[in-house]
Amino acid sequence: MTTAVISGVGVVSAFGVGAANLFDGLANARSAVRLIRSFDVSHFPTRVAGEVDVAAIERHWIMQHVGTINADTTVLDEFESIGAWRDRKIVFGLLAAMEAWRTAHCGIAEQEAGLVMALGLEQAFLEDFAPFFNDKGIDWQAEQAVRSTGFRYRSDVDLTAQLLSRLLDLTGPTIVNASACAAGGLAIAQAASLIERDAASIVLCGGADSMVNPLGIGGMTRLGAPSPRCELDACRPFDRRRDGLVIGEGAAMFVVEAEQRALNRGVKPLARILGYGSSQDAYRVTAPRPDGAAARKAMQSALKRARLDCSAVGYINAHGTGTLLNDAAEARVIRDLFGAHADRLPVSSIKGAIGHLMAASGAIELAACLLPLQRNILPGTAHHQQKDPHCAINVIGEQPREEKVDVILSNSFGFGGQNVSVILGRYP
């Protein structure tokens, strides 16, 4: 079977644009959660997020961060003309993809690449309804009479993928995974699967999302998912005092390709994708299955595909949202599955530092898993100070840990009950 490797990575996070910013932030135990600045949150119950440091996105900001584009950029003009930058995840996906493409030294020969993207739900633009709203509700007749072009009401889910495939002229299969918080991990798993079964030799993959917008923040708040405390330490994964998540935004993109293909063109892989597995809770859309049976199945499936025993795993990057139910359920599953090995198996979550990136969370957390493989540093768990007896696992505290590990498992468990686990291995 063909081995899939990661040969390039790009990241946009609250730590800034670029994978190095994420690695540096995590390696130095910083937290990037802050008061939301991209819109006025003074009347919102939730006011903090892992927000990328840009208010209204404009072309000069994009060009400042995107680096050199060896392609016809007409498509950027087209997207700008329809107001695409209103949806922040489109820009984050673009910047992360270009960094991944560049660091993997991709060129014209790589245009055969497939594209597998995890993308979050449509961004809603409620203000677009205002000109057509009267006492009776939305006046659809008046709406039809206005023939303005561009985004209205909500952005299409797949716009980021459309932009990237056109900008890079990618001719391989294009797939948009819309599996909520599990989408990022599933996208990378699917990219690896395409490589392994020779359906593609190279795939640009990853995830981009932003719910740092009025309906995103507001809707999640009404659901009760975010921490009610508007503090910078609002998200405290696996901590006894945890009370909810913090929303984040950003993107992480990878170039995944057949190992031999990377070596043939002189690129040293960053990591191997050893295994992956997915499952569905079939329980509730907004709560994890208490017994964790389905999450366990995803992890077991990933281990089986990787042909590894539990004892081979050296670090787990947990889904670790900082919610009461999720963390307890995940900890229970890790304890049950890994048994005595769980006592010394380091586990951490980076959501306290950058927030929950929803559809992109699995992708950015896999990017964070490159930190141990590249620098021998296991990320810490920001704001984790008090151990919870209900989370009886070996959680790394706020300080990162210097340790060399060869096999890493990353979990993502999504709204709707979708679960995915991905296993990365050190490239010798």
Among all residues, which ones are annotated catalytic? Answer: 181, 319, 356
User: Looking only at residues 300 through 339 of this chain, which bind other proteins when binding is defined by CB under 8 A?
Assistant: 301
Q: Does 357 bind other proteins (CB under 8 A)?
A: no
Q: What is the DSSP letter of 131?
A: G
The correct pick among 70, 73, 171, 264 for binding other proteins (CB under 8 A) is: 171
Tokens standing for residue 149: 């072009």
Among 6, 12, 84, 157, binds other proteins (CB under 8 A): 157
Q: Does 421 bind other proteins (CB under 8 A)?
A: no
Contact track, other proteins, 100-119, x by CB under 8 A: --------------xx---x
Distances, alpha carbon 215 to alpha carbons 44, 84, 149, 234, in Å: 11, 18, 23, 20
Q: Applying CB under 8 A, which of residues 77, 144, 145, 428 lies at the interface with other proteins? A: 144
Q: Does 16 bind other proteins (CB under 8 A)?
A: no
Side-chain-facing half-sphere of 308: CA atoms under 13 Å? 24
Residue 164 interacts with other proteins (CB under 8 A): yes or no: no
From 16, 67, 83, 214, residue interacting with other proteins (rule: CB under 8 A): 214
Q: Does 190 bind other proteins (CB under 8 A)?
A: yes
Q: Alpha-carbon Rg of the chain, whole angstroms? A: 21
CB of 121 or CB of 329, closer to other proteins: 121
**Residue 23 has what DSSP assignment?**
H
Candidates 274-282, 343-351, 377-385, 394-402; binding stretch for other proteins (CB under 8 A)? 274-282
Beta bridge partners of 251: 12, 208
152/265 with CB nearer other proteins = 152
Cβ-contact 177, 183 below 8 angstroms:
yes
Nearest Cα to Cα of residue 251 among 410, 100, 36, 34: 100
Contact status, residue 364 vs residue 251, Cβ threshold 8 Å: yes
Closest to other proteins by CB, 181 vs 270, is: 181
Applying CB under 8 A, among 194, 202, 316, 368 the residue interacting with other proteins is 194
- Taking CB under 8 A as the binding criterion, the range among 68-76, 182-190, 308-316, 319-327 that sits at the site for other proteins is 182-190
C-alpha separations of 348 from 233, 237, 316 in Å: 16, 8, 7
Least CB distance to other proteins at residue 116 (A) = 9
Q: Using CB under 8 A, which of the segments 61-69, 235-243, 281-289, 366-374 binds other proteins?
A: 281-289
Cα separation, 118 vs 121, whole angstroms = 10
Please report how the helices 19-27 and 361-368 are oriented relative to each other, as an axis angle in degrees rounded to 10.
70
Q: Is 416 in the site for other proteins (CB under 8 A)?
A: yes
**Where does residue 109 rank: exposed (0-12), middle (13-18), buried (19+ CB within 10 A)?**
exposed
Q: Is residue 381 at the binding interface for other proteins, with CB under 8 A as the rule?
A: no
* 167 is an interface residue for other proteins by CB under 8 A: no
Minimum gap (Å) between residue 249 Cβ and other proteins = 16
Within residues 26-85, the interface with other proteins by CB under 8 A covers 39-45
Least distance to other proteins, CB of residue 40, Å:
5
Query: Is 347 one of the binding residues for other proteins (CB under 8 A)?
Result: no
In angstroms, what is the minimal distance from the CB of 367 to other proteins?
21
Q: How far is the CB of 382 from other proteins (least distance, A)?
A: 26
Q: Which of 89, 96, 90, 87 is nearest to 67 (CA)?
A: 96
Residue 395 CB neighbour total at 10 angstroms: 23
User: Interface with other proteins by CB under 8 A: which range of 65-73, 144-152, 246-254, 318-326?
Assistant: 144-152
Residue with tokens 């990377």: 262
For helices 324-338 and 293-306, angle between their N-to-C axes, nearest 10 degrees: 50
Contacts for 315 with CB less than 8 Å, ≥ 6 apart: 345, 346, 347, 348, 369, 372, 378, 403, 405, 407, 408, 409
Provide the residue type at 352 as one letter.
G
Cα angle: 373, vertex 377, 380; to 5 degrees? 125
| Rounded least distance, CB 14 to other proteins, Å | 21
For the bound state, the minimum distance from the C-beta of residue 185 to other proteins, rounded and expressed in Å, comes to 10
Q: Which residue, 279 or 381, is less far from other proteins as judged by CB?
A: 279
97 binds other proteins (CB under 8 A): no
| Interface residue with other proteins, options 174, 300, 374, 394 (CB under 8 A) | 174
Interface with other proteins (CB under 8 A), residue from 24, 158, 291, 406? 158
For 332, half-sphere exposure in the C-beta direction (CA atoms, 13 angstrom radius) is 15
User: For residues 349 and 381, what is the distance between their CA atoms, to the nearest angstrom?
Assistant: 5
Contact status: 222 vs other proteins (CB under 8 A): yes
- Report the residue number, 38 or 381, with the smaller CB distance to other proteins: 38
